[in-house]
Structure 1
């Protein structure tokens, strides 16, 4: 087998390894297959390339442009994923494992591309939260905004997911408009190198947006500034060394960590043997022990079950684990492949021996198990190992030592409080799962264990057909955890993007805030146009363009007819005496939805035109009752414009409804889809 030279991509060029390179062995055969590392990489040059070229190019793009870039990147990776499958077998991963790592990583990029288009503006400023009125008259306001950091994101990734681990950090970073320098773990860096090569070959990314360090980062971290971010996945020991580095502390460099995690799974007291929940529990534990050979940061390390269910759980897990075929990961019949390296195998065996001082091994003998297929005995194989800790309150290692392999420990609990106490003994984890159909059990565990876990995964017969699994971090949801798990957060949709942006409070007049946010703010300068706004295309509409309607009187007959027509005969609209006894009403009042309907009748232009559809209302508030004899008028203003596809964009209108005295009676945002003008589009 030819020895592969795993390269770095630095300052726009590929650079091979040098004499400082480390050997990389196949997890399956134990043979040396590659070498990686170059001590001569110029870190200053890489940082200058990212900050001087990648950053400005990304920041010049809007969130929507970056999202389209991510979608194109994901599509390109998907077209070439077979190349990644083929090379990843050498890490010990099976084809099913590839679906987690490679397909999961590509899917994560697709999700961030979608969220960038749907939940972020077609702008370079992200508005966070609502306007804060800081003055009585509304001339001085506050708003939080987020803008791209001006530095570089350094991603230090773990060996177990060379593709997903890179892409789940890279997608929100690029969406934030920040360039990245990726440093994969050496044991599997040849997979990350190929993924970076595929992305760069596409020419989709701007120059300087992505660089790769295969091997040591040298003094890179010493050169970071307040505008940079370090995002790390790995051991707690390495995380501590990195986060306590003097340059990072002195310059307050952002540090996000996802580290060791003794995740737990709790079998609910209602999930007795013979129930669908019990069977689900056994399947989940088996999958989490064997997927990626247990080398998952979210794998189940502690199995917490009622005292009376310990024996049936052990018996059921023994049965399922005994059917797991161990061997050549490229063989489709293989259920579990190898650990990533011989070093990792040694680490797993040493830590399993620590667990065995407190717990009895009830399944799996690392000295006596069968390896199937073409895999060599010198490969980094271990069997699934199951332990039983009868006295978990007295144990230490089972709650403190993470065996990063197919190893898990069963322990009994007396009651639910005891179960949550045991789960919390891990001192912070990425995920805990609870298999129960009892809502009261779910709430008790959420209250008792929520503070110690980044994610709580509940499952039962009602949700199991569509659930994603205990160990599957989803890009929509926060991935991270307190304490031992690192105290950081990744993913979580737009929340993940914010790690690479600065939140800033801006204060000023409505006109100033409108200019900064690209959103018209009530009180800012209004623009009038001789044509009705509903006759103007998406492109022609201007922020702040305002249409004011004539007035319409609300009669008692209108209220009664609306009540009869809709069936809404609530007493406040129909019984004057009862309405007067209500502290909110002076007597009979108009329906809130009557006000909305009449408001629409005042501002809608009925002819066919650019307005294609009304897609909803946001922030609706009824501010003051409207009595029979009152009049209402409407002010309709263009608040925000967001392109949606090649044919139309979304217009957000601010609608303010006032009575004859000018008092606000209702306000809301109206959303419409409006066609672009001829020959235009996003």
Structure 2
């Protein structure tokens, strides 16, 4: 039987192995989820909410152990890991409170005596998740999906099997109906068969562009809905009338959260020429102060990259960009020693044809690009295959107007790009399809059923 290996990125050593599901066990989980759905779809919102609130309470009560799992399995600094557990609990609580209003029946006038749209659950939904935010992304998928009356199958990344097991156990400890939320420790190559299974009605996928294409095509071939949250090369535009100190503070934070391993991090920092040098100096000061080290240390700001291959690719991107003419005033050198650490790196003089501007950089790499004015900034921001999110630093009124010109699913004006259970998030172009979170997210995995009640109005 195949085993999923958990490797500690701080040391590079194998921590433990988890046995993948056998075919028989997988069939039992699929049957169990279908059985659980039969009752759960009829449950009151208050009964569903109790399960989610109980899970949230368990997370808050065991925050240190759950956070430590992330730190050990994918290198998230412990302070950030605690914050992620808190945010996952908040997501569960938010949908427990608001799902009923988000899914309220809508009366629509027609020729009927009464006509309306009601939102009914679809069935068993598969969530395919990445390693970079193991708890938050699990609950971003599961909280709205469960509160809508569906059952959930979670196929987590094989590099975080401990986190996946702990998430599944939370639902067991909370007394959720058997089969309602199931962790599937599976090899990636077996996921296509789960998507094709007749009991699975839709798929949520967060991960790479390549993986998203495979998932979407597999689901589409079975006439099944999919929601995709894929990569990003998010621009952060800094114009001459911005508060440069606040912009530098926030962009620095956005770029280095989770060692830069975030789809919505500020990846291309586009700065108006008249303030370019001043802004670069401010950003350099902040990046240089950050402490790279053991993620279990409370003082650490930036932990390791999650895997060796990811670090190698990151270093390739930096090397190719410097070779093409960019400057590297900070970082850029592979450190010696154990683990998959990569230094906080600043690249300036980057132009649109360089590797770091064309590819998604998944690490603590700040890429600064100079433009002449607002129009060039917007044009450059949109010159990418991605369209996940963007940030704009300028006068508020000007930023609001610029949002209409940016080709992204999300825009933050004078603030950090983030995900929030109250607000929809998602991308356009090659950054994905559909929306998660907010009232829009919960409506992705429901049947918007139109009901016409006769007789025809006189």
Scaled to the shorter chain, the TM-score interval is over 0.9
Q: Which residue of 1 aligns with 2:366?
A: 408
Q: Which residue of 2 aligns with 1:170?
A: 142
Structure with more helix by fraction: 2
Q: In 2, are the aligned partners of 1:260 and 1:484 still within 8 Å (CA)?
A: yes
Offset, 1:310:
1.8
Offset, 1:477:
0.8
SS in structure 2 of the partner of residue 66 of structure 1: helix
Q: Which residue of 2 aligns with 1:258?
A: 229
Q: Which residue of 2 aligns with 1:285?
A: 251
Q: Which residue of 1 aligns with 2:454?
A: 509
Q: Does 1:446 align with 2:397?
A: no
Offset, 1:61:
0.7
Q: Which residue of 2 aligns with 1:25?
A: 7
Q: Cα distance 1:495–1:67, how it changes in 2: closer, same or farther (>3 A)?
A: farther
Picking from 380, 384, 392, the partner of 2:344 is 384
C-alpha distance after superposition, 1:9-39 (max 9, x if no partner): xxxxxxxxx3x21432111111110223426
Q: In 2, are the aligned partners of 1:226 and 1:252 still within 8 Å (CA)?
A: no
C-alpha distance after superposition, 1:420-474 (max 9, x if no partner): 11111123322111112241x213311211xx21111012xxxxxxxxx524200
Q: Which residue of 2 aligns with 1:596?
A: none
Q: Which has the larger radius of gyration?
A: 1
Picking from 403, 413, 433, the partner of 2:391 is 433
SS in structure 1 of the partner of residue 84 of structure 2: helix
Q: Cα distance 1:445–1:359, how it changes in 2: closer, same or farther (>3 A)?
A: farther
Aligned length: 453
Q: Which residue of 2 aligns with 1:423?
A: 381
Q: Which residue of 1 aligns with 2:109?
A: 132
* Cα distance in 2 between the residues matched to 1:240 and 1:306: 36
Q: Which residue of 1 aligns with 2:67?
A: 85
Offset, 1:191:
1.6
1:153-232 to 2 correspondences below 5 Å? 153-203=125-175, 205-216=176-187, 218=190, 219-225=192-198, 228-232=201-205
Q: In 2, are the aligned partners of 1:95 and 1:332 still within 8 Å (CA)?
A: yes
Q: Which residue of 2 aligns with 1:103?
A: 86
* Cα distance in 2 between the residues matched to 1:279 and 1:435: 11
Offset, 1:399:
3.8
Q: Does 1:473 align with 2:405?
A: no
SS in structure 2 of the partner of residue 133 of structure 1: coil
Q: Cα distance 1:120–1:318, how it changes in 2: closer, same or farther (>3 A)?
A: closer
* Cα distance in 2 between the residues matched to 1:177 and 1:197: 20
Q: Cα distance 1:226–1:425, how it changes in 2: closer, same or farther (>3 A)?
A: farther
Q: Does 1:243 align with 2:216?
A: yes
* Cα distance in 2 between the residues matched to 1:25 and 1:455: 34
* Cα distance in 1 between the residues matched to 2:163 and 2:370: 41
Offset, 1:146:
1.3
Q: In 2, are the aligned partners of 1:267 and 1:434 still within 8 Å (CA)?
A: yes
* Cα distance in 1 between the residues matched to 2:301 and 2:110: 60
Q: Cα distance 1:100–1:423, how it changes in 2: closer, same or farther (>3 A)?
A: farther
C-alpha distance after superposition, 1:638-657 (max 9, x if no partner): xxxxxxxxxxxxxxxxxxxx
Q: Cα distance 1:391–1:355, how it changes in 2: closer, same or farther (>3 A)?
A: closer
Q: In 1, are the aligned partners of 2:129 and 2:157 still within 8 Å (CA)?
A: yes
* Cα distance in 1 between the residues matched to 2:170 and 2:49: 19
Q: Does 1:321 align with 2:291?
A: no
Q: Cα distance 1:152–1:323, how it changes in 2: closer, same or farther (>3 A)?
A: same
Offset, 1:215:
3.2
* Cα distance in 2 between the residues matched to 1:359 and 1:258: 33
C-alpha distance after superposition, 1:578-624 (max 9, x if no partner): xxxxxxxxxxxxxxxxxxxxxxxxxxxxxxxxxxxxxxxxxxxxxxx
Offset, 1:359:
5.0
SS in structure 2 of the partner of residue 410 of structure 1: strand
Unaligned runs of 5+ in 1: 1-17, 272-276, 372-376, 460-468, 513-522, 524-682
1:597-676 to 2 correspondences below 5 Å? none
Q: Which residue of 2 aligns with 1:49?
A: 32
C-alpha distance after superposition, 1:157-193 (max 9, x if no partner): 0110010010110000100111111011122221221
Offset, 1:194:
1.6
1:581-592 to 2 correspondences below 5 Å? none
TM-score normalised according to structure 1 size? 0.63
Q: In 1, are the aligned partners of 2:239 and 2:373 still within 8 Å (CA)?
A: no
Q: Cα distance 1:356–1:244, how it changes in 2: closer, same or farther (>3 A)?
A: farther
Q: Cα distance 1:222–1:85, how it changes in 2: closer, same or farther (>3 A)?
A: closer
SS in structure 1 of the partner of residue 367 of structure 2: strand
Unaligned runs of 5+ in 2: none
Q: In 2, are the aligned partners of 1:80 and 1:198 still within 8 Å (CA)?
A: no
Q: In 2, are the aligned partners of 1:270 and 1:438 still within 8 Å (CA)?
A: no
C-alpha distance after superposition, 1:651-680 (max 9, x if no partner): xxxxxxxxxxxxxxxxxxxxxxxxxxxxxx
Q: Cα distance 1:269–1:242, how it changes in 2: closer, same or farther (>3 A)?
A: same
Name the structure, 1 or 2, with higher relative contact order (CA <8 Å, separation 6+). Answer: 2
1:355-394 to 2 correspondences below 5 Å? 355-358=321-324, 360-367=326-333, 377-392=337-352
Picking from 113, 119, 125, the partner of 1:146 is 119
TM-score normalised according to structure 2 size? 0.93
Q: Which residue of 1 aligns with 2:241?
A: 270
Q: Does 1:40 align with 2:22?
A: yes
Offset, 1:63:
2.2
Offset, 1:226:
8.4
